[in-house]
Amino acid sequence: MSTTAISVAPCNAASRLATSGQRLRRAARRRRWLANVGAALLSFVLLVWTIAPIFNIVMVSLEGHDDVFGGRIWPADPSLEGYWYLEYFWHQYGNSVCLGVAVTALTLLIGSLTSFSIGRMRIRHGWVVTNAALLTYVIPATFLAIPFYRLAQAYGMMNNLWSVIAALVAFATPYAIFIFQNYGASIPMELDESARIDGASPWQIYTKIYLPLMTPALVAVGTYALLLAWNDYLYQFLLLSSKQSMTVPVALAQFLNSDEAPWNYMMATAVIYSLPPIATYYMFRTKMTGGLTMGGVKG
């Protein structure tokens, strides 16, 4: 192209303009193409990175007991054998569900009541509570585990689901208060005032105005609390040890410690145990990310 530009002198400038335009366009197209290929490659890597361990869980859960050690990527003959085992499994599953539901409900209740009274009723020194809550949020959970265990022992709360519920609620409420306060700030105070003039009691304001308007935040925090309860292992392991009170993660860990761990059963359990949070997550996905990042970057 440069040779033509040199040899044909008269239309030199025009042709150079044209070719540079073309070249630019071609470069842009090439760059876009490269970006797309790069994106596709990155997506592929991400996909493998994300899926591989999950694939592993599902595959192992479908294997027969002896196949686990067979060194195959795909189970020889997939079976659901792994899913029908586990003595007490459904009972323990019920425990896990109870735990999750109770933690969620209590967190929502305590969190919304607290933020309502601080944010709406203008209680003096409310900020102390908010800051104290923030401090709790950042205490490493492991630090409290040992004292908690000792206390539960002292008060005969061992093997009692309530002790775990209390511990987890204590960890989830600070976050709840945070979100509720931030979100609640966007609800105009005039609403409360006009309701008060109409003769509404604080309790009525709370149930009829505050809660309905807070629904997105409630959903976000509820999902957070449920995932927290579902993710926790340490407290359940320390505080629940009898077969009757145990939850799924604790039962799973017990398998891990036995000599010949039944990997297919364990993975089957893991699959069933993972389903509720995944379902919850997809159900509330948009609301949750909205809630989690409420305010996002205000600064």
Partner 1 sequence: MPYIAVFFAFVIYPVSYGLWMGSKPSLYVTLMNDPTYWTSIVNTVLYLGIAVNVKMVCALLLSGFFMRPGWWIKALLMIYVLPWAIPSMPAFISIHWFFNGDYGFLNDLLYDLFGINGPAWLDSRWLALGTMITSYIWKWMPFWTVILLAGRMAIPSEIHEAAKIDGATGVRGFIHITFPMLANLYFVCTLLSTIFTVGDFNAAYFVTGGGPAFATYVLATLGIRDAFDLSQPRLGVAAVITALPIVIPLVYLLMRKLKTAQVQL
Residues 105-124 that bind partner 1 (CB under 8 A): 110-111, 113-114, 117, 123
Would you count residue 266 as binding partner 1 (CB under 8 A)?
yes
Query: Does position 155 bind partner 1 by CB under 8 A?
Result: no
Q: Which is nearer to partner 1, 5 or 271 (CB)?
A: 271
Binding to partner 1 (CB under 8 A): which residues in 173-192? 173, 175, 177-179, 182
144 versus 191: smaller Cβ distance to partner 1: 144
For residues 13 and 32, which CB has a smaller minimum distance to partner 1 in the complex? 32
Q: Is 144 in the site for partner 1 (CB under 8 A)?
A: yes
Please, what is the minimum distance in Å from the beta carbon of residue 197 to partner 1?
26
Closest separation in Å from C-beta 225 to partner 1: 14
222 binding partner 1? (CB under 8 A): no
* CB 234 to partner 1: min, Å: 5
52 binds partner 1 (CB under 8 A): yes
Which is closer to partner 1, CB of 14 or CB of 54? 54
Give residues 74-93 in contact with partner 1 (rule: CB under 8 A): none
The number of C-alpha atoms within 13 Å of 210 and in the hemisphere containing its C-beta is 29
Instruction: Out of 20, 139, 188, 244, point to the residue binding partner 1 (CB under 8 A).
Output: 139
**Residue from 102, 103, 157, 167 binding partner 1 (CB under 8 A):** 167
Nearest to 221 by CA among 287, 276, 176: 176
Interaction between residue 298 and partner 1 (CB under 8 A): yes
